[in-house]
Structure 1
């Protein structure tokens, strides 16, 4: 028998109340301060209020339930951790960020500042675990039990509920030549499995681009085989799309999830995605309240400003607005982008009444995607990009206002991040089994 999963919303005394019901049939409530536009319905109002910095209130019974302890590898700024935290809190569970692992020191500090992360490890993930695989694809197994070799992380073996991982995906992306799917970095996908198995994590969530399933070394089949051989009884996978969950972006991601224990009948990724399905939200839903933010004096900072455009790009943007266009005509493009260029979205203007395309690490540059604001002759700001990615205003990308991060760092953290909305949906079926 499948335990149904139901998500319902209501409005009460300046709050939007969300109730999640699963397995035992008892609803678990949480709420957010209502900052939504008038007449915005349930789920849309909850997430809009969340994005706008509304305070989240959790179920009072959460203190009585076991904490979810997590490790985030290839963590970046923590988009996947934020999604997992929201799923945990939504299910009435406390959440503790035990460790974050990355080679980006500043990104690790952002992670620590937002989640109070206990250990931040500046390290190549491969250096933290000893492992070797025999065979590949469905025949793969670990030649010996993976072992954590880092003394700090070794103290957490057997104590971790959730291993989160977003290994580098450039080798799988369709934006790259197909030979890149032989990129050695793709083996970091298997490193994530080895870390989870070595930590004896109760659950593992690995995120990547949908095209990871076409990797020439068959990393997904290998990962599934290794998980099964390591004792993970429930293994599932699926592609989640931000716009199909009520977001304002068309970004898609592939998730591979596994748990040591199976809960017969608990919802899987596909079922959760069906239950959370919402109409796509237009870009205006995510950023309309930010239109005049650059004029708000003391609130203005690196998150709300953009670099000056070159004279050539200013002319291109003006052409779009003067002619009410969203795709730059061929004759106005740089020579390198003329005559059949395969990325027409480059130098493109966003639509106010449609979801944005995938936010990339080049969102402050018009020549690196469709990043021009639909109503203002400029690219989107870091805060607007973060909102599109489903990061709330309460998330601190600027740890020290006296020494703000570079724009390049902001672009990397925001553009590379797993949208928390996707992380929420992907980890819910896992939390149900913990």
Structure 2
């Protein structure tokens, strides 16, 4: 028989910056019930409620709800100011939102706190400040940098996890994938042509975008357009050369995808052109790369759903972390 060391039964969670609930869903599979989810975006909150469910919803992580004890506190604060894929702006005001975690921990007194972000977060002054504040509250800490593909996600998404605990530290998850899953496997069963249903939708390309797609070969990218059809290139491409070579790039069919961003339906933002079709990825294809079940319900318009998908933790990686952390509550 499994006994829980925490005095809350069942195990209850609070999730900050909850998004559509991918990380929360993974922890729910390991016995954690969401007591409160905090998310500013109303459409993401609706998706969270439909797929994970929480006793209550709250909108602002800066406003700490008092007297809501929990077993575990989950948080995925905004990463844009730390990400190497963005501007990595150390002065981005969103960076300081990570410090809200310590305020919530002081109020809710969870046994374990899990903070997810991009790896450069661990090099920031906000990480050092958060760690000091959590240590003063009596938590010990460890951190992991994990590649989603090592745990079965068809995506080379690397994420950092900071674990703070009062009941011992978990063992680092061991990779479970004998080989990396591919884009081909993720898209299995989906028609090549968007159906317009069940999120299998993509923005129709304009004339210029379509012309570029047609000269980008399999595994190709913007360099092929520059080489084979310079008349389709803006002056900046020709002036600056082949910088950011992943943009206007086709995904490799027989390899994991690169990191899926919120802008995965924009060819100028990364390697988001379909491996064989003259278009960018559909929402459903993006969801498949995150391991999201087809029956998952999303609320919002196309751009909102793309953000919800791109902001999430791949389910395979979330499960690996939840599995490791949940063992702390068993004896």
Task: Return the alpha-carbon distance in structure 2 between the equivalents of residues 219 and 255 of structure 1.
Answer: 14
- How far residue 351 of structure 1 moved from its aligned partner, in angstroms, is 0.9
Within the candidate set 234, 239, 251, 2:157 is matched to 251
Does the 8 A contact of 1:112 with 1:118 survive in 2? no
Task: Return the alpha-carbon distance in structure 2 between the equivalents of residues 392 and 230 of structure 1.
Answer: 38
Listed as ranges, the matches of 1:374-389 within 5 Å are: 374-389=275-290
Match of 1:126 in 2: 62
1:102 is the counterpart of 2:39: yes
1:163 is the counterpart of 2:56: no
Runs of 4+ in 1 over 6 A off after TM superposition: none
Within the candidate set 166, 190, 204, 1:290 is matched to 190
SS in 1 for 2:298: coil
SS in 2 for 1:171: coil
Match of 2:171 in 1: 268
SS in 2 for 1:127: coil
1:356 is the counterpart of 2:257: yes
Going by fraction, where is strand more abundant, 1 or 2? 1
Larger Rg: 1
1:185 is the counterpart of 2:94: yes
5+ residue gaps, structure 2: 3-7
Does the 8 A contact of 2:219 with 2:251 survive in 1? no
Match of 2:5 in 1: none
Match of 1:230 in 2: 137
Listed as ranges, the matches of 1:31-430 within 5 Å are: 66-86=9-29, 88=30, 94-123=31-60, 125-128=61-64, 150=65, 154-156=66-68, 158=69, 160-178=70-88, 180-215=89-124, 218-232=125-139, 234-262=140-168, 267-269=170-172, 272-274=173-175, 276-292=176-192, 294-295=194-195, 300-301=196-197, 303-321=199-217, 324=218, 326-328=220-222, 329=224, 330=226, 331=230, 332-338=232-238, 339-398=240-299, 405-430=300-325
SS in 2 for 1:182: coil
Task: Return the alpha-carbon distance in structure 2 between the equivalents of residues 225 and 167 of structure 1.
Answer: 18
* CA RMSD between the two structures: 2.1
Does the 8 A contact of 2:47 with 2:297 survive in 1? yes
Aligned residues: 317
Task: Return the alpha-carbon distance in structure 1 between the equivalents of residues 233 and 34 of structure 2.
Answer: 46
Task: Return the alpha-carbon distance in structure 1 between the equivalents of residues 235 and 188 of structure 2.
Answer: 35
| TM score, norm. by length of structure 2 | 0.89
Cα 1:168–1:181 shift into 2, 3 Å: same
Does the 8 A contact of 2:219 with 2:275 survive in 1? no
SS in 2 for 1:393: coil
Does the 8 A contact of 1:83 with 1:419 survive in 2? no
| TM score, norm. by length of structure 1 | 0.69
Does the 8 A contact of 1:172 with 1:214 survive in 2? no
Does the 8 A contact of 1:70 with 1:164 survive in 2? yes
Task: Return the alpha-carbon distance in structure 2 between the equivalents of residues 278 and 220 of structure 1.
Answer: 33
- How far residue 67 of structure 1 moved from its aligned partner, in angstroms, is 2.2
Higher relative contact order (CA 8 A, sep 6+): 2
Cα 1:116–1:176 shift into 2, 3 Å: closer
Deviations 1:226-253 (A, max 9, x none): 2221122x42101010112222111111
Match of 1:401 in 2: none
- How far residue 326 of structure 1 moved from its aligned partner, in angstroms, is 1.6
Task: Return the alpha-carbon distance in structure 2 between the equivalents of residues 376 and 176 of structure 1.
Answer: 27
